Structure 1
Amino acid sequence: MTKVTVADGSFDAPLWLPESGSGPGLVLIQEIFGLDDYLKSVAADLAKLGYVVAVPELFWRIAPGWSATHDEAGVSASMEVAGKLDPARAVSDVLATLATLRSLPGSGGRAGVFGFCLGGSMAYAAAAEGDPDVAVSYYGSRVPEQLSLLDKITCPIQFQFGGADPYIPAEGVRRLADAVATHDGAEIHVHEGAGHAFHNHVAPMFHQPEPAAAAWELTLEFLRRTYPV
């Protein structure tokens, strides 16, 4: 666990360490469900690759310790909590966590951002407002409506979307793909037939194994290429 201090307080961010005990950092940014078994498993997977992973609690001001079930009731409750989130403060929390990871011994001063769903939008915004070494954004619903932010991003960034996502209009993803095509260091992968949160293996209502495996392999290749340990 590490403590992250921001202008209006501080919050704890759980850490996952690689076997070596140190390495470049990744800020892993939550879905609306909070720090659940799914996010913990992703953090562990990234740590096995050699990264030091920190998960900031985005809801610490409004619903400390939030974690919800992966069903219709959990989605509804989580959407209500997420609706109270101040996006600007959340991005500031992510960037503060990024700075904390960079300050850790053995990090080499390197840290990136990696987010799913809500976290995918936050990772994209953090890449635009800050200076992470790398960014990965999975199905961030606000990304297509914030295309202008792409021009501010200088680090390598990868986007993953489902081609049948009911929460993100396909036209918005197409516009993003057009913008990515002319932006150095950016890449986008759209998995046809995949819905929202298809990588979340503890959510039966969302998980789709085939696109999940394909997307993850693309992400591993991207990290090896742009942000090696």
Structure 2
Amino acid sequence: MLIRPPEHVDLNTSLGPMRTHLFRPSIDRPVPAVVLYSEIYQMTGPIARTAAMLAGLGYLVAVPEVYHEFESAGTSLNYDAEGTERGNTLKTTKQLASYDEDARVAIDFLCQDSQSNGRVGAIGICLGGHLAYRAALDSRILATACLYPTDIHQHSLGAGMNDDSLARMGEIQGELMFIWGRQDPHIPVEGRQQIHQSLITSNRNFTWHEFNGQHAFMRDEGHRYDPAIANIVYAMIEELFSRVLR
């Protein structure tokens, strides 16, 4: 379906406004809502295209700027050495509690928005995969797609690099889907095995999918992009969200 022109809203947090980009389907009835968490680069072209694709499938999509307390509203980091260094520095400068507050604020907004049917999911890529996972600690998140989420196996998200994400897995009530690249050096096989075993031990509702892909194989810019795999993964995401959120 067609989508409306992108817009944004500045949501209040204890550390200032959080610029949140909105992509809405052009339809006059309530639809499911999705929080889309970006990579460390915030709102880039590939993230905007992913958000527009989801909106075109009939979802209200919100993309919060994860580093809003450090960068001016509307800032996106470049896919280069400088942008990567800045994004990785902020990832472990931001407080874990701030990540969690941001998630609550975004979910609150989506539950209350007039276009939302009140059923909310989450999806995230790289850093965003971890943030989507943590958003799923909120019982209002009914389905979550984590695309090669970093740092879960290392407990290294946020200031102090000592997060409790893996330990809290048993709190997640919604359905989880994990997508991995076997050639991704950021989440080696040992790390994936640790997460997989925790999912089994905690008896979560999940699916697990590994592809022969490098880190960022879903990003439609750069030499690691694999469009054939990306098309498969997007179909899987739509199946999950359609089945659970509609």
- TM norm structure 1: 0.90
Report the CA distance between 1:42 and its aligned residue: 0.6
Could you tell me how far apart the structure 1 residues matched to 2:239 and 2:32 are? 17
Shift of 1:181: 4.0
Partner of 1:20: 27
Provide the rounded CA distance (Å) in 2 between the counterparts of 1:12 and 1:68: 15
Write out per-residue CA displacement over residues 69-123 of structure 1, whole angstroms, 9 at most, x where no aligned residue: 2233432332233332223202211221111010011312222211111111111
Question: Residue 142 of structure 1 aligns with which residue?
Answer: 151
Distance 1:81 1:201, change over 3 A: same
Aligned position for 1:190: 210
Q: Once superposed, what is the RMSD of the aligned Cα atoms? A: 1.9
Shift, 1:179, TM fit: 3.2
State TM-score, norm by structure 2: 0.84
Cross-structure match for 1:70: 79
Matched to 2:141, the amino acid is P
Amino acid at match of 2:23: W
Which residue does 1:93 correspond to in 2? 102
More helix by share: 1
Contact 1:59 1:66 in 2 (8 A): no
Question: Per-residue deviation at 1:129?
Answer: 4.6
Report if the CA contact (8 A) 2:40-2:88 is conserved: yes
User: % of aligned pairs identical?
Assistant: 27
Partner letter of residue 40 of structure 1?
Answer: A
What are the equivalent positions in structure 2 for 1:1-229 lying under 5 Å apart? Answer: 1-21=8-28, 22-64=30-72, 65-129=74-138, 131-145=140-154, 146-181=165-200, 183-191=203-211, 193-202=212-221, 204-228=222-246
Query: Which has a greater percent of strand?
Result: 2
Gaps of 5+ in 2: 1-7, 155-164
Q: CA deviation at 1:7?
A: 2.7
**Residue range with higher mean Cα deviation, 127-136 or 164-173:** 127-136
**Structure 1 residue 197 displacement after superposition:** 1.4
How many residues get paired?
226
**CA deviation vs aligned residue, 1:41-69 (integer Å, no higher than 9, x gap):** 01101101111111111111112233122
Letter in 2 for 1:218: M
- 2:5 is aligned to none
Show structure 1 runs of 5+ residues with no match: none
